[in-house]
Structure 1
Amino acid sequence: MFLSFAAHSPYDTSTIPSHLIDSRKTESDSSTSLIMAIIEGIEGNQYPQGTEGYDGVKSQYATSTYEGAHNLNPALIVQPKTKEDIAKVLMYAKRKKIAVAIRTGGHQYDGASSTGAPNIQLDLRHTFRSPGDRAVFERDGKTYARTSVSWNLGEFNDWLTENNVFVPHGQCVSVNLGGHVQTGGKIYLSSITSASPLSLYSCLWSSHDRFRRGQSDKVGDGARFGQMIRSFGLLGDHVSSLEIVDAKGRSQEITKETDPDLYWAFLGGSPGNLGVLTHLTIQTYRNQDHRGSRGLKALYFYRAETLKRLMDIVVEMSDDEDFPRNYDLCVNVLSSDSRILSSTPGLETWAAREHRELYGQDGRLVWPRAIVLYAQWIPAETGDVCDMAWFDQMKEGADSILVDPAFERPASQLMGEWILRSEREFDHPYIKRTYSTRSRTLGRDGWASWFVGRIDNMIREENNGCWVVGQAQCVGGKNSMLARNADNGTSYNWRDTAMCCNMDCFHTDEAEGRAKDWQKINDIQAIGHNGIFSKEDRRQLWGSYGNWDLDAMWNCYYDDRAKYEKLQRIRRAVDPDGTLTPNPFAVKRADWSLGYLISRLVKFWKRIIGGPA
């Protein structure tokens, strides 16, 4: 027997729980060497383990942290050119009794879009990028966009802006659409810095064409909540159809009407484990129907009292269940580290004029600890009026206003202002935490003071081998479209969330213990029965941490057991051979044992006769 997930040797099952072992036999003792060979008939590129180019292609966001622990080393990486290539890979894997991981961007924090030998990774980053892979069209008086999963969010937003339409989506430029939509189309405002010299400038100052001239397209941050989440909900809330290649190699289109269960499961259920998503069609919003949109992007040099003042605004908004849906707000705080080249245009001019003290003895600009705020108002209905005093309270004390709410902007262009043009936050391993809560008493409970204290505890000391990224965003309220879209046929979890918070710590190898101790205290004090932030442990599929056996941790990622068991049954139906189970971070397929089938029949019969199920 051998495992079909990445974390262990395929021939060593002695330490693995029996329910995680895929009890399928290899065709021969030489199966591993067979997997290392390329697959015949594939038009796209193939990278067997150990060949030239393999290491660069396999690299993704989690490589810096989990390459060894989670074995992010597939035996073969295939970059398909067509749906036919995808089908051939799936059929090959089925014959060889191995599994396939699906990557579109590669930003899941634990590396769940990768796998280990003898399994295969399908890399779709370059597969569907022809002019025919996306189109904007009108139908029944509404505007739709059909697009492939191979475009990143920067490219996606540029294209929507060219067509004067928009949808809610995330902000990390090199996140791709495939995993993004399957995990909710959620992105917090990601961090605003990197150890690479141009990253901060590219996040805050660059226009799109400057980015294209100066930045690389490496993998970046994972999918997080978007700046329009209260105003318009999730990207996945706007999907009208999904085009997939299923585990049997068949191409099909799924809608809420044609296959409501699979449509439901794809949008929030078990990303990458239900089929290979290639294209999606989305209902969009037109700029002309939302005139008067405004936004604020403000920069503050770090001071604990400044962070506390801004966090109080976020908390007040989050605790007010009646807050209008038009407003979205996120506050970010980050450690100092970036050394920005003195030749960087725009930023260099501003810094030289306003802040000569930022220059070191070598004449280079050294970026300090900072707070970055994003605020937005978009009219949802005719007659909506913006309260400019809401923006004014945040403009007060800002060291630089990068986007001014005094000027109206098309909503699609405003979305482009939030695109973060960085590769990743810091070029170090990380220990990340994404917390969410439904609490409406954060102000009374003193959470803002706790958050500022924990951030200051780590950020105050320079050169400690740790770099912090803290973020907080109000996402809820009874007017928020995150909550109001709860019964729209998707399976996304934690729709009742009021506030989300990230507390990420990047570290050197020597400072790993310090980072772990800091996060341990955060976990103990923030989450649980006595937690100051949330009484429940509510995690995101894109931002997983700790034990990555999803079946063992299901209650941290799913609303209830009934939802999880429904996903298990759908997983069993669409992936009967485990071909799409490349690692333990997947909904466990239901057990089709005789006892299980009898129990399902009994429940079904009780529903028919009207008795308790």
Structure 2
Amino acid sequence: METIQDFTGLQYPLTKDPIQRKTYDDHNVEYATSSHQKDHDMFPGLIAMPKNDDDIIRAIKYAKSNGYAVSVMSGGHQYSGACSTHGKGIQLNLRLTYKAPQDLVVLPQLPAPDSNRPLVYASVSHSLGEFNTFLKQNKLFVPHGQCTDVHLGGHGQTGGYGQLARAFGLLGDHIWGIRMIDHSGEVKEVTKKSNPELFYAITGGSPGNFGIITHWTIEAHRDQDHDFPETGARPHGFKGLWLYNETVLKLLLNEVAAMADDLEMPRNFDLCCSVLSSSFPIFKLVPELDENRGKIRQLIEDAIGVDAHTKWPACVVLYAQWVPMSAEDLYTKEVDAWFQKFRNLDSFLKYWCIHAGNIVKPMSQMTGEWLFTNPREFDHPYEKRTYMTNSTTLAKGKWVDQVSDQINQVIPPSLKHFDLWTNCFLSIQIQAMGGKYSQYFANRNNGTAYSWRDSTVCQDLDCFHVESDKGRELALGWQAANDKLMVGENSAYSKKDKRVLWASYGDWNMDKVWPTYYEDREKYERIGRQRYLADPQGTFTPNPFCVKAVKH
């Protein structure tokens, strides 16, 4: 028996093969909130919670000397479970490692030389909710995702997709520097200038497989550069909530399609439509509703006869946003007309609209409007699909009808689809991304490896299900139908299967499925060469979901 001093001060025995499985009694440790397949071993031999750099360095050296692999978890939201590992691996849980005041600060030195924007130093141990609050306190903002419990470690490496993607790009586009601990235990600072190939590989390549990322240096935007009360050029938003109705859904998806098809659409506009099954914790998504619970319950009962005291019904949610890029970028009649299309649904579908709220506030506060404060949507296992497309003919094709029909099989009470309705729960997000002025597209050659930058729509279809063989079979069947409709030569959505790393699913042997995550072999092998240099002994290869190392 060998022993390794546990990083919280406890002693745990380890055998050579396998490492004994141990968990902590005094920490709430989760392996991963993942949709991994049954044959994925997601149970590490040891979960280590390091206190600092020294603990991480000791863990890396111990793993190398004993032939163990190391996985890294900051938040635990990697969908295929790649932040975890098998019984012969060690998972480093960094949720509590870097939470001192110096781990989240606005750097006092000069701003980023290329952009003149302020730099924020942020550790991977911070959640998006914490990060967003800190930025708001400093009147700063960056684009990022919408789930507050996601942490900055994996989020930065996989892009940081979110509501501001057209106007400002990805969180990963704003990463200026990377602090990491490599396979030899050395602390490194990586920038585009100091090591452009490694920077490229980490930002969009193979998360967790180049070393232990501890901190990001991030270029932030100032409120004052996008909010001009004196000229009326202020950020505007709209948050709408309707009881589920297929008419509402199709009207809103047609707006997403029209926006995606318009290559001339200015970058100022962002639009995202969501659909959520009944019992979704809607007050976590639209907290302002909490003040009017009584009125809302009555609206629900009048519209569809559901007792809102016991069950929140299915709903459709819309987030719309317009941001001025300069003091001359005024809120014109044309901009207001775009918002008015969504406001009109309040009167057109009077009994179905629960909330239609206009928002005018600085961007550091606006970004908080798009956050969802629950760790996950439904407390069930799920099957995930995320489809990207570069189509500019979505409004003319059958896509809106097809995805609406698929959703309509699961959401409303139905005798025809009774099993789906009673066993499955949907969380859908469909977001416009495209146009030649979209910053998601404009940042395509900025020294990062994030793929499918020509995408016009990101379509995220999550099907949660009751924990049973029948539930999983139904969810897989529903997703199989989506696969046929959303990908292929005859698809009205996308001719090619295009996925993103944050929303991975299915076969997790990356060397088999890499064409769905990377545009071409040249890019895949370019990242692979950095993998070989960063991980020559396989220390950061804890599972098959990683780019294959390629020797020079």
TM-score of the superposed pair, with normalisation by structure 1: 0.80
Moved more, 417-426 or 345-354: 345-354
2:399 matched residue in structure 1: 447
What does the per-residue CA deviation read over 1:562-608, in whole Å, with 9 as the maximum and x for residues that have no partner?
A: 01011111100110000000000000111x4xxxx6xxxxxxxxxxx
2:343 matched residue in structure 1: 395
Is 1:180 matched up with 2:146? Answer: no
Aligned equivalents of 2:513, 2:23: Cα separation in 1: 36
Aligned equivalents of 2:315, 2:327: Cα separation in 1: 38
Structure-to-structure mapping, 1:75-474, within 5 angstroms: 75-137=45-107, 139-140=110-111, 141-186=116-161, 226-291=162-227, 292-338=234-280, 345-352=290-297, 354-357=299-302, 364-386=309-331, 387-398=335-346, 399-401=353-355, 403-405=357-359, 408-461=360-413, 463-474=421-432
Identity value in percent: 42
What does the per-residue CA deviation read over 1:136-193, in whole Å, with 9 as the maximum and x for residues that have no partner?
A: 135155311111111100110000000001111111010000100000111xxxxxxx
Q: CA deviation at 1:561?
A: 0.6
1:605 matched residue in structure 2: none
Secondary structure, aligned partner of 1:102: strand
Specify whether residues 431 and 46 from structure 1 end up closer, same or farther in structure 2 by C-alpha distance, changes over 3 A only. Answer: farther
Contact 1:45 1:80 in 2 (8 A): no
Aligned equivalents of 2:170, 2:318: Cα separation in 1: 21
What letter matches 2:406 in structure 1?
A: R
Secondary structure, aligned partner of 1:364: coil
Q: CA deviation at 1:473?
A: 0.6
1:8 matched residue in structure 2: none
Q: CA deviation at 1:394?
A: 0.9
What does the per-residue CA deviation read over 1:244-292, in whole Å, with 9 as the maximum and x for residues that have no partner?
A: 0001110010111111111111100110000110011111111011010
Q: CA deviation at 1:347?
A: 4.7
2:511 matched residue in structure 1: 551
Secondary structure, aligned partner of 1:433: strand
Contact 1:483 1:495 in 2 (8 A): yes
What does the per-residue CA deviation read over 1:401-426, in whole Å, with 9 as the maximum and x for residues that have no partner?
A: 35314xx2000100011111112111
Aligned equivalents of 2:281, 2:203: Cα separation in 1: 40
Structure 2 residues not aligned, in runs of 5+: 13-19, 228-233, 284-288, 347-352, 415-420
Structure 1 residues not aligned, in runs of 5+: 1-32, 187-225, 598-613
What letter matches 2:383 in structure 1?
A: I
Contact 2:36 2:505 in 1 (8 A): no
Specify whether residues 577 and 339 from structure 1 end up closer, same or farther in structure 2 by C-alpha distance, changes over 3 A only. Answer: closer
Contact 1:300 1:397 in 2 (8 A): no
Structure-to-structure mapping, 1:495-506, within 5 angstroms: 495-506=453-464
Q: Which among 533, 538, 541 is matched to residue 578 of structure 1?
A: 538
Q: Which among 43, 51, 58 is matched to residue 73 of structure 1?
A: 43
Moved more, 376-385 or 43-52: 43-52
Moved more, 331-340 or 381-390: 331-340
Specify whether residues 45 and 564 from structure 1 end up closer, same or farther in structure 2 by C-alpha distance, changes over 3 A only. Answer: farther
Aligned equivalents of 1:46, 1:312: Cα separation in 2: 59
Aligned equivalents of 1:326, 1:361: Cα separation in 2: 39
Contact 1:464 1:511 in 2 (8 A): no
Aligned equivalents of 1:327, 1:494: Cα separation in 2: 20
Contact 1:46 1:78 in 2 (8 A): no
Specify whether residues 99 and 339 from structure 1 end up closer, same or farther in structure 2 by C-alpha distance, changes over 3 A only. Answer: closer
What letter matches 2:326 in structure 1?
A: E
Aligned equivalents of 2:303, 2:11: Cα separation in 1: 47
- What is the alpha-carbon root mean square deviation over aligned residues? 2.2
